[in-house]
Amino acid sequence: MIRRYSFGTPLPTDAVVCALPAEKGDVPYFTTLRENERVSFTLSLSPEDILFGLGESVRGVNKRGFRFRSWNSDIPSHTENTESLYASHNFLVFFGPSRLFGIYLDDPGAVIWDLGYTRSDTAVITSENGNFDFYLIEEDSLSGLVRTFRGLTGQSYLPPRWAFGYIQSRWGYASEDEIRTVAEEHRSRHIPLDAVCMDIDYMVGFKNFTWKPEAFPDLKRFSTELKQDHLRLVPIIDAGIPAEEGFAQYEEGKAEGVFCKKEDGSEFVASVWPGWCVFPDFLQEKARTWFGDQYRPLLEAGIEGFWNDMNEPALFFTEEGVSEAFARAESLRGSHVDYESMWQLKGSFNGIGNNMNDYRRFFHRIGDASVRHDKVHNLYGAHMTRASADAFRRYDPDRRFLLFSRSSFIGAHRNGGVWQGDNFSWWSHLKMALQMLPGLNMCGFLYSGCDLGGFGSNVTEDLLTRFLQLGVFTPLMRNHSALHTREQEIYRFSTWEMMRDTVTVRYALLPFLYSEFMKAALTDGMYFRPLAFDYPEDTRAVRVEDQLMLGEGCMIAPVLEQNAVGRYVYLPEDMLMIRFRSASDYDLVPLDKGDHRIDLKLNEFPLFVKKNHLVALCAGGESSETLDDRALTVIGRIDRETVYDYYRDDGFSPRPDLQQHLFRISIKPETVCTSTAGVAISKLLI
C-alpha cells in the first residue's frame, strides 16, 4: 500500500509513474516539523531497527549510524565520511521487530538523512526546500515493499545482452589504433571482451559529438570492423556544450534557446573539460530533444552504447566564482600574515569547483516558471539520461542501447544504468562497491557496477583480481582507470592468465546471470539484495554486511581484504558452494547452515546456491555473441525435483514478454548425469 503526502509546491521530477491522490493529515509514524522552508520528519529508532536503501551512498548495507545528504556531487576522492555522492536516491526502508515500511521523498533539492548520527536512537529526515511529495509504502515483506515502490516508479532499464560482457575502459585511449591494440591484446590472449569505452580523448578539444578526424578517420568503418570481431565501442558524452562561436552545437542550441540562463537572461557559462561551456536545460523537453538529436552522427556510425558523464553537473569554475575568490584573496593583501589569514587565502580557491554559489546562478524553465538550479539540482543527470534514452528510442525503436550515467535520480532507472562514479584502487572501495549494490537495486538501478580495479591511484595485481571477482557478478563489468594511473588492462600484469580465468567465469555464467537480471527487471524485483530480504527472521543474516543475495537462489561473498586467502561466510541455510577458478575449473562443496571459514586463494572465488535451487553454466566463450548457450551444465544441491525458469531472448528487442522467453529446466535427483555428495550436475540441451 502506498500513501502520498504533499508538502509545499512539489515540482515535477519524472520519478513516479502512477498518480496518487494526496492524503490529508500528517505522515504516520513521524513527527513533522516545519521551520521556514525546511520540513523535517523525526522518528525514534529501537536498537534492533535496520535501515536499507539510499541507493548510491557510502558506508554499509545498513545505512544506520551516519548522516547523508542527497546532493549530486562530483567527488572522486570520496571516503566513508562523504555525505554526498554522484546520485541521490531518496528511498529508505525501516525494518525492525515491530516495523516495516519504506519512504520515498520525491524531492529534487537537497535532503538530509540523519540516520542515528546526531542521536543514535533517532532518525531525522529534512527537506531543505520543503516542496516535495512524501510516499509511505507498507507491505508484509521487504521484497514486497520494494516491488510496490518499484511499481510506483516504473520498470527498470533493459540493457542489450552484449552489455553483460566484459568491458575495457581507460581515460586516455586516443585513437582507433590504440583501441585496436587493446582489442587485439584481449583477443590474442583469449581474454573475453565485448566492448571498449572511448573516454573524452576521442573528441576534438573534448567537444561533445565530435571525434578527431586523424585518430578516427572513418568511425563507421572502425565500428563495423570491431563488430565483425564481436566488439563494440562505447563513447562518453559530457553534459556541457562548448560556448564557442562557430561551434555548430553551440550556435544551434543558442538559436533554439535550450541552454540554462542566468537571472538576467544571459547564458550561464562555466568551465569544464572543453573550456567555457553552456549547459542544456535538460528539464525542458525541447532541450532534451535537441540534445538527444546530437547523438545521431554517432548512432549512424554504428555506436550502440554510451556513458554520460559530468552530469551532476560538475563545474570546474565560473568567471564570477574566480573573481570572488580573487577579491577575497585581495582583501587579505597587506594584512598581517598569520595562519588564519593564510588559511582564508587558501580557502578562497579550494571550494571553487562545484560551488553552491554557482548552482544558484542559473535557472531552468519548468512550464512557465523559472526555477533556480539548486532547487532541482538532483534532477540534472537523470534528465540528461532521459534525453539520451528518448533519442535512442526515436532513432531505433526496435533495439536496446547500452547507456549508463554517472549522476542519477530515481526515475532515471527506467532509462539507463549507472556506474558508481570515480573510485580509487583501494580495498575499502572494493567493499564500498559491494555495499552500494543492494541500495541501487532497491531503487531500480539494476544495471550497475563500479570501476573495476579502481579509477584513481595505482592498482595492484591482487586488488584487480579481487575486483574482477566481484565484477563477475555485477551486471556492468567494466575495468576503468584514470589517466596517469598504472595501466590496468588485464594483459599488463604478470598474473594476466589468472585474471583471464576469472573473466571466463563471467562468460560461463553470462546466460544465467542475464536470465536472473531479466527476470528481476521484468518483475520489479532485485538482482542483488541484502540477506535480510530472504531471511528476515534470522538475526544474524539481517546484519550481514559483506555478502549479498543474487537472483532467486544465489549468494555472493567476495574476498575484500588484501593478502587474505580465505574468509568467513555465514550461511543462513544449507547451500552448495561453487568455488571457481575458471569457467571449467571449480569445486562443488555442499555446506550446511552456519559459519564457515572458506579457503579462497587469490585465483578462487565462491558462488553459493541455496538447496533445491539451480545454477546453469555454459561452456563460455570470448564474446557474448559467440557463446554457445544451448548446452548448459545445470548444477544444484537437490533432494527433490527442482525447477529453474531460464530466461532467454534475442538480447536486443526492447519490450520482451517474460512468459514467452522462459524455458523450464527441471531435474530430479534420480535422473541426473553425475551426482557427487548430494550435488546434481546435469548437461542439458535446450
**Residue ranges that bind ligand MIG, judged by CB under 6 A:** 171, 199-200, 236, 309-310, 406, 421-422, 455, 480
User: C-beta of 263: minimal distance to ligand MIG in Å?
Assistant: 28
CB closer to ligand MIG, 451 vs 524: 451
CB closer to ligand MIG, 216 vs 507: 216
User: 345 vs 320, 331, 342, 481, CA distance in Å?
Assistant: 17, 9, 5, 33
Q: Are 674 and 620 in contact (CB under 8 A)?
A: no
d(CA 530, CA 527) in angstroms, rounded, equals 10
Let me know the angle formed at the C-alpha of 524 by 440 and 85, rounded to the nearest 5 degrees. Answer: 15
User: C-beta of 404: minimal distance to ligand MIG in Å?
Assistant: 11
User: C-beta of 108: minimal distance to ligand MIG in Å?
Assistant: 22
User: C-beta of 369: minimal distance to ligand MIG in Å?
Assistant: 32
For the record, the C-alpha cell of 151 comes out as 511499481
User: C-beta of 487: minimal distance to ligand MIG in Å?
Assistant: 14
Return the C-alpha torsion angle 592, 638, 587, 508, nearest 10.
-130
User: C-beta of 315: minimal distance to ligand MIG in Å?
Assistant: 11
Q: Are 127 and 105 in contact (CB under 8 A)?
A: yes
Say whether 297 sits in a helix, a strand or coil: helix
Q: Is the dihedral of CA 305, 311, 312, 314 positive or negative?
A: positive
CB closer to ligand MIG, 128 vs 312: 312
158 phi and psi, to 5 degrees? -110, 115
User: C-beta of 57: minimal distance to ligand MIG in Å?
Assistant: 17
Which amino acid makes up residue 332? L
User: C-beta of 546: minimal distance to ligand MIG in Å?
Assistant: 25
Q: How far apart are the first and last CA of the chain?
A: 41
Name the one residue in this structure whose C-alpha cell is 526515436: 394
d(CA 530, CA 574) in angstroms, rounded, equals 18
User: C-beta of 419: minimal distance to ligand MIG in Å?
Assistant: 7
d(CA 468, CA 672) in angstroms, rounded, equals 32
CB closer to ligand MIG, 77 vs 523: 77
Name the one residue in this structure whose C-alpha cell is 541501487: 440
User: 348 vs 270, 320, 332, 342, 345, CA distance in Å?
Assistant: 18, 13, 11, 10, 5
CB closer to ligand MIG, 20 vs 483: 483
Return the C-alpha torsion angle 439, 443, 447, 451, nearest 10.
-40
Contacts of 342 (CB under 8 A, 6+ apart): none
d(CA 176, CA 155) in angstroms, rounded, equals 37
Q: Are 235 and 207 in contact (CB under 8 A)?
A: no
CB closer to ligand MIG, 109 vs 321: 321
Residue 261 is given by DSSP the state B
User: C-beta of 668: minimal distance to ligand MIG in Å?
Assistant: 49
d(CA 457, CA 424) in angstroms, rounded, equals 6
CB closer to ligand MIG, 237 vs 498: 237
d(CA 678, CA 686) in angstroms, rounded, equals 24
For the record, the C-alpha cell of 552 comes out as 532467486
User: C-beta of 489: minimal distance to ligand MIG in Å?
Assistant: 15
Helices within 458-602 (DSSP H only): 461-471, 496-522
CB closer to ligand MIG, 126 vs 407: 407
Contacts of 532 (CB under 8 A, 6+ apart): 50, 52, 95, 142, 541, 542
CB closer to ligand MIG, 478 vs 611: 478
Helices within 214-275 (DSSP H only): 219-228, 248-256
User: C-beta of 480: minimal distance to ligand MIG in Å?
Assistant: 6
Residues in the chain: 686
Angle between helix axes 219-228 and 176-188 (nearest 10 degrees) is 0
User: C-beta of 370: minimal distance to ligand MIG in Å?
Assistant: 29
CB closer to ligand MIG, 78 vs 89: 78
CB closer to ligand MIG, 133 vs 238: 238
Name the residue with the smallest CB distance to ligand MIG: 171
User: C-beta of 477: minimal distance to ligand MIG in Å?
Assistant: 15
CB closer to ligand MIG, 422 vs 622: 422
CB closer to ligand MIG, 282 vs 455: 455
CB closer to ligand MIG, 480 vs 610: 480
* Cis omega (within 30 of 0) for bond into 76: no
CB closer to ligand MIG, 200 vs 498: 200
Return the C-alpha torsion angle 383, 385, 387, 389, nearest 10.
-140
For the record, the C-alpha cell of 640 comes out as 527433490
User: C-beta of 495: minimal distance to ligand MIG in Å?
Assistant: 25
